[in-house]
Amino acid sequence: MDRIPLPLLLDGATGSELLRRGMPAGACTEAWVLEHPEALKELQRAYVDAGAGAVLAPTFGANAVRLEEQGLTGKVEEYNRRLVALSRDAVGGRALVAGDLGPTGKSIPPFGAFSFEMLEAVYMEQAAALERAGVDFFVIETMVSMPEARAALLAVRSVSDKPAVVTFTCDENGRTPSGTDVLAALIVMQGMGAAAFGLNCCGGPEAVAEQLRRLTPYATIPLAAKPSAGMPEHGPDGLRYPCPPEDFARWVPEFAAAGARIFGGCCGAGPEHLAALANAVKKVDFSAFPPVERDPDVIPCASETEARFITPDVDVGEEIACSSDLMEDILEAEEEFPQGALKIEIMEEDDLALFAENQYVIKDPLCISTDVPELLEGALRAFQGRAFWDGTEELDSAFLERMRDRYGLILL
């Protein structure tokens, strides 16, 4: 499977629905499902009966970090294999099964002690297990930081040719808990080869629609909408989600007009919401939406947190050398030339280490300058955004194309 069939209806909530079916609050979902397989199979059969064309295997937390936190060391291969098999059995060939990868909760320096390479290794172990388990495609969901999303997508693309959908969660301003604008996340993820990009767990449908509309002018891949059934409210019987199925589904035309071709539900959205969603999706004439007009001279790029835009003749200014003053030099350059771009020179391994330590402060478009292929790839791994190459250094064109395919490098 090299493409996702569109439009596609995913399933709805897993965690909140399993809680309704007896899973204790705070339990390890993956372990509880393996101990109570019929609860999951009943839920996923209900989603397929409601019209879902794909379900997510309950592997959201089945990575080494999350499992070890539950005392389940060395269980990644076994758990992902068994959980995918349960979903396969549940759908009985009536729907696709996606491998679900969620956040580890780890941060790279200077905000945490987990290196980017460690993140990628964690996701690669799980992605390889899901590939061996025979998933039809991958969903990297509820992402809150660029490093985790980039590591997960690199890992999936390293072990499989199957499509990967990436979804982030954000607040009403379009910012993730780590401060990333979801527009920046879209620009980075689509540059790195995501098959689709979207939002989940961002509150109710209205909040998701508002943020999708921001993404529309810059999305060159399908968008995905997986809202929750509103913000949860505490009631006498536990959490209650205020958005009923009919209100949930009435936003489908808005999602579709914004470019959504993948639909589903997150927290609180159960089989009844999916049935309403399926009926609404059937009524949409996707061929009626005009193509989005884009200015070919406006090139989206991004830092770890901000979306930025350049033109083919962008002024990159003076090169910034990597030194012990790199952070101050970056901040000073961005203050003096707010409409330009940064050009950082990386000529040796020590430069690369300094760049990796300070890349998080970059907000403006970044041009990386080096004539050493290994240093360029190292810088692209370290930079948690989408950089560009202005062609002033000599590097092999085939190598540069690989960097564009793998890391989203923009070639001017």
Contacts 24+ apart (CB under 8 A), 389-396: 390/314, 390/316, 390/343, 393/369, 395/371
Distance (Å, whole) CA 14 – CA 20: 10
Nearest to 385 by CA among 358, 369, 352, 408: 408
Q: What is the CA radius of gyration of the chain?
A: 22
Residue 315 pLDDT class (50, 70, 90 cuts):
confident
pLDDT for 373-400, tens place per residue?
999 999 999 999 999 999 888 899 999 9
Q: Say which CATH superfamily domain 8-288 falls into.
A: Homocysteine-binding-like domain (3.20.20.330)
Return residue ranges of the chain for CATH 3.20.20.330: 8-288
For 21-29, what is the mean pLDDT? 96
Percent of the chain that is helix, strand, coil (3-state, to 5) = 45, 15, 40
Confidence check: pLDDT of 340 > 90: no
Distance (Å, whole) CA 308 – CA 218: 11
pLDDT of amino acid 2: 79
The DSSP code sequence of 54-66 is EEE-S-TT-SHHH
Confidence check: pLDDT of 132 > 90: yes
Confidence check: pLDDT of 56 > 80: yes
Distance (Å, whole) CA 341 – CA 314: 7
pLDDT of amino acid 336: 85
pLDDT for 135-186, tens place per residue?
999 999 999 999 999 999 999 999 999 999 999 999 999 999 999 999 999 9
Nearest to 343 by CA among 364, 312, 372: 364
Residue 57 pLDDT class (50, 70, 90 cuts):
very high
Residue 65 pLDDT class (50, 70, 90 cuts):
very high
**Of residues 330 and 238, more confidently modeled:** 330
Nearest to 220 by CA among 255, 247, 268, 188: 188
Q: Say which CATH superfamily domain 299-411 falls into.
A: Dihydropteroate synthase-like (3.20.20.20)
Return residue ranges of the chain for CATH 3.20.20.20: 299-411
3-class SS of residue 125: helix
- Average pLDDT, rounded, for the chain: 96
The DSSP code sequence of 261-300 is EEE---TT--HHHHHHHHHHHHT--GGGSPPPP--TT-EE
pTM of the model as a whole: 0.97
Residue 237 pLDDT class (50, 70, 90 cuts):
low
For 108-133, what is the mean pLDDT? 98
Contact between 178 and 196 under an 8 Å Cβ cutoff? The reply is no
Listed in sequence order, the residues at least 6 apart from 177 whose beta carbon sits closer than 8 Å to its beta carbon are 144, 145, 169, 171
